[in-house]
Structure 1
Amino acid sequence: MQPISRRTFTRTLAAAVAAAGPLGVFAQGAYPDKTIRLVVPYPPGGFTDILGRLIATKLQPALGQSVIVDNKGGGGSSIGTAFVARAPADGYTLLLVAPDFAINESLMESRLGYDARKDFAPVIRAAWSPMVLVTNPSVAAKNVAELIAVAKASPGRLSFASGGTGTGSHLALELFKTRAGIDLVHVPYKGNGPATSDLLGGQVAGMFLQYAVAKPHIDSGKLRVLATPSGKRSPAMPDVPTIAETGLPGFDVEPWFGIVAPAGTPAPIVNRLNAEIAKVMQQADVKEKLAAGGAVPSISSPQEFGRFIDTEVVRWAQVVKASGAKAE
């Protein structure tokens, strides 16, 4: 008989427990009975980190156990994601995901070492948060049309940051470049935090950034907002036009955020987490904190979230192919 790996054994056992139903889970002890780790595959400072800590803080009293946030940034979120893919499927290691979870499937292909649709159990889509196209005020453009004109007049002169290769901010930039027919230099960072710092300092000209992170800098005049890439105007910034309105019809990029677990996590545990996180996202103070950054709850069942991830993988594969974007 061929020996089996510890990972295979763990997942086989978890699947057997799931098949046994709730009684199978409770026979091994009530869940949870120890600390839960929520991996945020980005450095501190971005909206994902803010959301992760908000969810973790609220889950602790609901589950009766500590929920810690573990930032594992780098690789366009692939490092932290790969870590969770290899974790035991027992509900004690979770992953906060954003659009690059789906984007990396085509951008990095076989280099990932995991499959977003096979190696994870969707738990819940939790929130939407609009992005904005912002520039340093030193850039001689006050709207999207002027930015396109400046870029066409000096191809390759303007540099635009992203939170890392394969992130939503990167692919939004690639889609914008392709649709507008302009040459902007992509400068990837290890997270939106350091990218924003360099944008404020003028080392880069602009970027696509979550509104929650950009808002205080827009309000202070340190960043200029040109548009939102969302398909419709956000209630949080009704005076900010969409990119679609400014001459690129059909442009629609709006970041989403959710939670997944390693594949094979027992269904009763997934369902418990889904129910508790759904309650968290509907709490009045959570909605208020999300609204301050233009975000809104977006609650789904595990099955709905799984189908949504499938469509996102297909959608961004088309963008990657059309733009010619490559992982660096």
Structure 2
Amino acid sequence: MPFPPSGFNDVLGRTLAQEFQKTWGQPVVVDNRPGGNTIIGSDIVAKAAPDGHTLLVVALPFSVLPSLFAGKLPFDVVKDFAPVSLCAGSPNMLVANPSVPANSVKELIALAKAQPGKLTYASAGNGTSNHVSAEYFKMVAGIDMLHIPYKGSAPAVTDLIGGQVNILFDNLPNVIQHVKAGKLKPLAVTTVKRSSQAPDVPTMQEAGVADYEVSVWFGLLATAGTPPDVIAKLNAETVRVLNLPEVKARFAALGVDVVASSPDQFTQHLKSEIAKWGKVVREAKIK
């Protein structure tokens, strides 16, 4: 697990581990190895024995690694891993400090154009989903904003609430309670459909940004070379777990949808995301 023991990544990993343990009758250990933009934990799985006993939970930022660290990664995100299944998807939500004089995405864009480079947006660090989501928004909307990176989502949200920064794109589970409490102002969600957890918040497309869509996805990988029959067994069990009513309900309460897939579907999705975010990283000159 290349993430700290918090957030939805951890919820997903521990949910799968608990159910795998019940099915197979042997311990399944969740080993949190955060750090290095998820490179540290990912590298352990890339170099593990290809027997299906060591698995990796990944999310959207995994597809940003090839362009963000071009030529510097100790592994290849496609060649060194064997996709098992997509697992879940969630929108980012564009939220603002209540003091920001914009109550819609159109008003935010107009404000940014009137004050180029003055508005600030927070992120959980370079290459994170909220960072590339904001840079993608800048590109599509034709605006300029100042990036303020943090070491994680929690301090970014804290400073947004405190007014030290103006806006943030963040995974819905990280901000929805602050929105409901009136501490943050929601402007849009980044998926093509509205979230059941925030049904009154428009999508970016409904808000007037026609070409903008970001779904923060989560998936499960094994090590490249894992036998196809083992991958098939892992996929079948993962899909079974994800479709359990109690798992769907638990994820839905966090604003996350179950998105199970075949290994081939996950492979194609990963390649598509690598291409999409590679373009954003290059054009935005993210380093």
The answer to whether TM tops 0.5 is yes
Aligned to 2:147, the other structure's residue is in SS state strand
Are 2:209 and 1:248 equivalent residues in the alignment?
A: yes
Which residue of the partner structure matches residue 96 of structure 1? Answer: 57
Q: How does 1:103-182 map to 2 (within 5 A)?
A: 103-182=64-143
Question: CA separation of 1:195/1:63 partners in 2, compared to 1, >3 Å: closer, same or farther?
Answer: farther
2: CA distance, partners of 1:245 / 1:83: 42
Q: 2:6 aligns with which of 37, 45, 57?
A: 45
- Contact 1:43-1:71 within 8 A present in 2 as well: yes
Distance change (3 Å), C-alpha of 1:134 and 1:45: farther
C-alpha contact 2:85 2:263 (8 A) present in aligned 1: yes
Match of residue 63 from structure 1: 24
- In 2, the alpha carbon distance for the partners of 1:112 and 1:264 equals 19
Checking the alignment, whether the CA contact within 8 Å between 1:231 and 1:250 is kept in structure 2 is: no
CA–CA separation in structure 1 for the residues paired with 2:164 and 2:5: 21
Going from structure 1 to structure 2, the CA distance change for 1:125 and 1:156 (only over 3 Å counts) comes to same
The 1:113/1:107 distance shift into structure 2, 3 A limit, reads: same
Q: Give the deviation of 1:194 after TM superposition.
A: 3.2
- Pairing of 1:164-313 with structure 2 (within 5 A): 164-313=125-274
Range 201-210 or range 92-101, more displaced: 201-210
Q: Deviations over 1:10-67 (max 9, x none)?
A: xxxxxxxxxxxxxxxxxxxxxxxxxxxxx1x223332222222222233221222222
- Structure 2: segments with no counterpart, 5+ residues: none
Segment drifting more, 69-78 vs 289-298: 69-78
Counterpart Cα distance in 2 of 1:199 and 1:50: 25
Question: What is the deviation of 1:149?
Answer: 2.4
Structure 1: any 5+ residue segments left out of the alignment?
Answer: 1-38
SS at 2:55 equivalent: strand
Contact kept, 8 Å, 2:140 with 2:211, in 1: the verdict is: no
Contact 1:75-1:164 at 8 Å conserved across structures:
no
Report the CA distance between 1:126 and its aligned residue.
0.8
Aligned residues between the structures: 287
Deviation at 1:225, TM superposition (A): 0.9
Which secondary structure does the structure 2 equivalent of 1:141 belong to? Answer: coil
Aligned to 1:27: none
CA contact (8 A) 2:91 2:172 kept: yes
Q: Please identify runs of 4+ aligned residues in structure 1 that moved more than 6 A.
A: none
* TM-score, scaled relative to structure 2: 0.92
Give % identity. Answer: 46
| Whole-angstrom CA distance in 2 between matches of 1:221 and 1:292 | 19
Shift of 1:127: 1.0
State the Cα distance separating 1:216 from its structure 2 match.
1.1
Distance 2:63 2:136 in 1: 15
Look at both structures and tell me which one has the larger radius of gyration over its CA atoms. 1
Structure 1 counterpart of 2:72, which letter? R
Task: Give how far 1:118 is off.
Answer: 0.3
1:325: which partner in 2?
Answer: 285
The CA RMSD measured in Å over matched residues stands at 1.9
Which AA in structure 2 matches 1:326? I
**Cα drift, residue 315 of structure 1:** 2.1
- Which amino acid in the other structure matches residue 127 of structure 1? A
Q: Distance between the aligned counterparts of 2:198 and 2:66, measured in 1?
A: 32
